[in-house]
Amino acid sequence: MSAGRTREYRADIDGLRTVAVLSVLLFHIDFSWVPGGYTGVDIFFVISGFLITRIIGREIERGKFSLRWFYVRRIRRILPVFYTVTVVTMLVGAVLLLPKDFHALLSSVRHAALFAANIYFSRDKGYFDISADEKPMLHVWSLSIEEQYYFIWPLLLLLLYAVGHFIFRQRRRLSQPATLVLTLALIVMGFAYAQTALIANPGAAGLYFVLQTRFGELMIGSFVALIPLYRNRVALRALAYAGGILIFLGMATLSKDSLFPGLNALYPCLGAAFLIYSGQERGGLTLLHKALGMPAMAFIGLLSYSLYLWHWPILAYMRYVYGSYALPWHWVLQAIVLTFLLAFLSYWYIERKTKAASLSFRSAFFGAFLTPALLIIAATYGLQQVRPIATLDMELRNYGTDVCHGRFDKQCVRGDRSKSPTVLMTGDSHAAMLNSFIDVVGRYEGWSANVLTGSSCSPVFDFDETVLRSWAHKPCNDLKDLVAKSYGDYEAVFIASLWAFQLGMLEARADGDYLSKLELTLRKMAQKVPVYVFSDPPRLPVHPLRQLHFAELGLSVERQSSNEYARANALVKQLVERIPNAHWVDLSPALAGFEHMSTFAGKPTHFDEHHLNVYGATVLGELFIQSGGRILNHGRSVVQ
């Protein structure tokens, strides 16, 4: 690798950074805009591998390489802005987040300060998980990958150079055969491991974040920096356009459901490698390189690091407040403007100055790395004490612990327990959450019910429990058998469920024939006993504890409620009204008595966005009675 074969500054690489960061930004705003936009991170990996290897390679060839000065440059380049964004994220989180969520943020900050954020998030839920969209530090996993690579690769490169020098007796030539062969072998091993691990562990979210599945991507960039330049302009131009096509295909054809990283990561990685390699010769640039190197593209590329750091916390906090992945267009516009504004300010006043700062290894290590890192870590422990996690009363945390949900050896009877159960109440967790409601109404009307439920399981006849998660299969099968055998022994059957889920409106994991199976079940049951089907409460737009917290902050937000619940209720209601001896129990008049749909008398009525807690179900029963609602009156149906 001679110093003269490459250009000092590559505007097209900054333009490639622009493509990478904008694709990530658009994907994080709405993954339907650029389905494979997350591959922009992989483009960054290739660029990083190329640039650091080019720097190290030149210095090794000249006999001037120093690990100390390499790390000084990395510290100046990366850490000042990173620490700035981290501190601001913590301060905003201290105000906006609930204590439990804030403590999770502080834990991620501690790992990030030690370059281990990827390890922390590999043990958590996946990168594409909906709840992941509200984790303000999730995006720094990629920085941790790069930092870990910076610790390992320079030492490995020195070793490869030494081995090649010993075997071939070649001095100051980094592109010697041994180095190239060993580097290529490591790339093949890296991608082979990633693909094999993904196939052997489908759905293992942690594989997305770890260095073992990613180092091959960075090494592709390193390999490009090591190989000699082939100067055939026709071939180089063909390679450049092939690179552009590969990047486009990765962004257009991959999605969050694709097997990734593995072999699919070759789309962005080879695409970026081809563009970088083909753009090294002076005068040989294609129109694609010239487009990437335009001043506007290059300038955004200069901002790309700051853009990447700022965009995710902004979007995560907006989603945390709004309570939904999908943000209104004016929120998105504000997020984009704020991201570019903060990125420009941090680049202009921090990045530019610290990159040019003259620092000794001691001052860089202690002043710019260790001291700020230790102060941030110490601050996380202090903030945990300032905002401890409060323990909620039991009645606010769940729908009851002594309930027959998934197992039937607990207290199943609700209502007037001085009387034998004459009612069977069944369904999924949305029936379980009505335990206390049935208790209140049953005592008032003078009857009792056995409440038997199963997680995600609506025990209609022939329900396909295999569509549920594996742990729900047996409890659901047991519940189905029990209901099928015993429903005729009761004077009435009550059924409640998360109708939108069962009908496949919320996710694909649902019985495709559920509606017809529900109709068959209701008709068959109604031939023996009256059947009462309960409307499902709407999903809350935001967690009830958040709603209370935001109200205390004076933060008033207009949110759009999900309409899947209303559509599902309408479908089931129409079905029920066609069946003789089947009745629709409408809970909406009673629910109207809740404040903001989620609180009553200043206390949360739900323990998450769609489950009533014991307190909420009890209040709902009282409001149902106060509003004139009736289900049974000494065995006589008076549904209102």
pLDDT 10s digits, 165-201: 666 665 556 666 778 888 899 999 999 999 999 999 8
pLDDT at 214: 95
Q: How would you classify residue 498: left for phi > 0, otherwise alpha for psi between -120 and 50, otherwise beta? A: beta
Q: Is the peptide bond before 261 cis (omega within 30 degrees of 0)?
A: yes
Task: Give Cβ neighbours of residue 105 (< 8 Å, ≥ 6 apart).
Answer: 89, 90, 93, 97, 135, 136, 137
> Tell me, what's the pLDDT at 431?
96
DSSP reduced 3-state for 95? helix
Given a contact cutoff of 8 angstroms between Cβ atoms, the answer to whether 108 and 376 are in contact is no
Q: How far is CA 165 from the centre of its chain?
A: 47
pLDDT for 453 equals 95
Picking from 96-100, 256-260, 499-503, 593-597, which range would have the lowest pLDDT averaged per residue? 593-597
- Mean pLDDT of all residues in 198-217: 89
The position carrying tokens 């612990």 is: 401
Q: What is the pLDDT of residue 204?
A: 76
pLDDT value of residue 331: 95
pLDDT above 60 (res 519): yes
| Pair of tokens at residue 217 | 């991507």
Q: Over range 237-250, report the average pLDDT.
A: 95
Q: To the nearest 10°, the Cα dihedral for 205, 211, 214, 220?
A: 180
Percentage of the chain exceeding pLDDT 90: 67
Token readout for 303 is 């901002």
Would you kindly state where each structural domain of the chain is located, as residue ranges?
Answer: 3-386, 394-637
Are 565 and 499 a contacting pair, CB within 8 Å? Answer: yes
- For residues 554 and 50, the model is more confident at 50
**CA atoms lying within 13 Å on the CB side of residue 95:** 10
Q: What is the pLDDT of residue 228?
A: 85
CB atoms within 10 A of CB 211: 18
Q: Is the pLDDT of residue 96 over 60?
A: yes
pLDDT at 126: 58
Residue-level pLDDT at 635 = 42
In this predicted model, what pLDDT tens digit does every residue of 383-392 receive, in sequence order?
Answer: 999 998 888 7
pLDDT at residue 276 greater than cutoff 90? yes
Q: What is the pLDDT of residue 125?
A: 62
Question: What was the pLDDT predicted at 281?
Answer: 73
Percent of the chain with pLDDT over 70: 94
Asked if residue 343 has pLDDT above 90, the reply is yes
Residue 195: CA atoms inside 13 Å, Cβ hemisphere, count? 13
- At 173 the pLDDT is 62
Which positions ≥6 away from 370 have C-beta within 8 Å?
none
**Separation of CA 8 from chain center:** 39
pLDDT at 130: 53
Q: Where are the beta strands (DSSP E) in 354-436?
A: 404-405, 413-415, 423-427
pLDDT in the model for residue 478 = 92
pLDDT digits (tens, 9 = 90+) for 1-47: 443 444 578 899 999 999 999 999 999 999 999 999 999 999 999 99
The whole-number pLDDT of residue 174 equals 62
Burial 279-311 (b: 16+ CB within 10 A, else e): bbbeebbbebbeebbeeebbbbbbbbbbbbbbb
Does pLDDT of 261 surpass 80?
yes
Q: What residues does 423 pair with on adjacent strands?
A: 449, 492
Return mean pLDDT, the chain.
90
pLDDT surpasses 60 at 639: no
- pLDDT tens-digit readout, 459-497: 999 998 888 888 889 999 999 999 999 999 999 999 999
Give residue 129's pLDDT band: very low, low, confident or very high (50, 70, 90).
low
Choose which CATH entry (3.30.56.10, 3.30.465.10, 3.40.50.1110, 1.10.10.10) describes domain 394-637. 3.40.50.1110
pLDDT at 637: 47
pLDDT score, position 552: 87
Q: Provide the 10 A C-beta neighbour count for residue 470.
A: 8
pLDDT 10s digits, 536-580: 999 888 888 888 888 889 888 887 777 889 999 999 999 999 999
What pLDDT shows up at residue 574? 96
Dihedrals phi, psi of 375, to nearest 5 degrees = -65, -40
Give the separation between CA 143 and CA 622, rounded to whole angstroms: 54
For residue 253, pLDDT beyond 80? yes
Query: What is the 3-state composition of the chain as percent helix, strand, coil, each rounded to the nearest 5?
Result: 65, 5, 30
Closest by CA position to 615, among listed 491, 409, 435: 435
Count of alpha carbons within 13 Å of 156, Cβ hemisphere only? 15
